[in-house]
Structure 1
Amino acid sequence: MKARSIKDSKEEVVDPAKELLWGRPGFLVRRLHQIHVALFWEECSELNITPVQYAILTTLSVMPGLDQTALAQEVGLDRTNTADVVKRLETNGLVYRLPDHNDKRTRNVFLTPQGTETVLAMHQDMSNAQDRMLQPLRPAQRKQFMELLAILVESNNHYSRTVLRGL
C-alpha cells in the first residue's frame, strides 16, 4: 500500500516513515489492534472490562469449566497471564474456580451469574466497536478481510509463544 503524500503548495512531499511503515503488515496489524482497543474502550468502558477479560468471559460463556491451561489455549494467552486475569475476574465476582474432581491441582473456571450478565450486557457494545472498526469496508470486503485474517492466524499459529488450540 502506498503512503498518502502531503501536499505542500502544489509540490508533493512524501512522508518517508509512513512510506516505509505502511509497507509492513506487522506494523499495520499492530496499529489496527491499537485502534480496536481504543474503540472497544469507547464502547465498553462502562463495565471496566478489558478486551482480554472479555475474551475469557466470552470463552467461559460457551465452554464453562475449562481449566486455566485450556482456557489460556482458547484465548491465546500464556498460563501465567491467564491465571492473573482469572484472579482479577474472580476478585470482581465474575468467575469462580473449583478444584477438578480428577486432579486437585487443577482449577476449573466458571462464570458467576454476574459474569454471565456482564457478557450479555457487553455483547452489543463489543459488536459496535467491531462494526466501527470495519465500517470503512463494504460488506463483501468485511467478509473477505475476516477470511484473510483467519487464514493468516491459522497458517502462522505455530509461531506464537501461545498457540491457540483447535486451529
Structure 2
Amino acid sequence: MPTDDTLSDDSYHSLAQRPGFLIRRLHQIHVAMFMEECAEFNITPVQYSVLTVLASMPDIDQVTLGAQIGIDRTTITGVLARLADRGLITRRASAVDRRMRLAAITPEGRKLLRRMDRKAQRAHDRTIAPLPKEERAAFLRSLAHLVDACNDYGRTSLHLP
C-alpha cells in the first residue's frame, strides 16, 4: 500500500486518462515531426503560423496577429523580431497610432512559405495519420471545439476562423 508521499501504480497509469497530459505529449510529437519535415527552413511551428497569417492579412497589428494564433504580446514580439532579422517580415509603426506596430510578410517570406507548405502539411498529416481516415476530420473538429469552448482560459484569446 502506498504512503501519502508515493503514488500507486494506478496513479501513474492514470496519465493515459488525463487530457492535458495527452495533449501536451501530442504537441511534443507534432513539433518533432514538424521540425523533422521542415529542418532545412529553420522555422518553428509558431513562426510558420505567423507567416501563414501574414500572408493572408498584411499590415496587421501585433496584438491582433497574436490573437489570430493564440500567443501573447510578449511572445509575438520576440517571434516577429526573429522573423524580421531574417528578412521574412517587416514591422513599422502605424500611421494612425504610433504605439501600434504593424507587421507584413516580405516577398522572401512568401517564397519561404510556399517552399515550406508541402513539408509542413506532411507534418500535420503525419500527426493524425495513425487515426483511421474516417476519424481524422471528426478529431480535428473535436479539437477545434475544445479550443473554442475553453478559449477564455488561455493567456490570450484565439480567434479561429
Q: Distance in 1 between matches of 2:127 and 2:155?
A: 27
Letter in 1 for 2:75: N
Q: Distance in 2 between matches of 1:82 and 1:31?
A: 23
Shift of 1:19: 2.1
Shift of 1:106: 1.1
CA 1:166/1:23 → structure 2, altered by over 3 Å: closer, same or farther?
Answer: closer
CA 1:139/1:18 → structure 2, altered by over 3 Å: closer, same or farther?
Answer: farther
**Other-structure match for 1:115:** 109
What is the TM-score when the length of structure 2 is the normalising length?
Answer: 0.90
CA 1:17/1:123 → structure 2, altered by over 3 Å: closer, same or farther?
Answer: farther
**Other-structure match for 2:75:** 81
Give SS of 1:22's match.
helix
Shift of 1:34: 0.3
Consecutive unaligned residues of structure 2, counting only runs of 5 or more, are 1-8
Letter in 2 for 1:99: A
Letter in 2 for 1:78: D
Q: Distance in 2 between matches of 1:132 and 1:16?
A: 31
Q: Does 37-46 or 92-101 show the bigger shift? A: 92-101
Q: Distance in 1 between matches of 2:32 and 2:131?
A: 19
Q: Does 69-78 or 131-140 show the bigger shift? A: 131-140
Give SS of 2:38's match.
helix
Where do residues 1-167 of structure 1 align in structure 2 (5 Å cutoff)?
A: 16=10, 19-165=13-159
What is the TM-score when the length of structure 1 is the normalising length?
Answer: 0.87
Structure 1 segments (4+ residues) deviating >6 Å: none
Q: Distance in 2 between matches of 1:166 and 1:42?
A: 27
Letter in 2 for 1:59: V
Identity %: 45
Consecutive unaligned residues of structure 1, counting only runs of 5 or more, are 1-14
Shift of 1:132: 1.0
Letter in 2 for 1:24: R
Per-residue CA deviation, residues 3-61 of structure 1 (Å, 9 max, x unaligned), is xxxxxxxxxxxx64652100101000000000000000110010100001011010101
Q: Larger RCO: Structure 1 or Structure 2 (Cα < 8 Å, ≥ 6 residues apart)?
A: 2
Q: Distance in 2 between matches of 1:16 and 1:126?
A: 38
Shift of 1:98: 1.9
Q: Distance in 2 between matches of 1:146 and 1:38?
A: 19
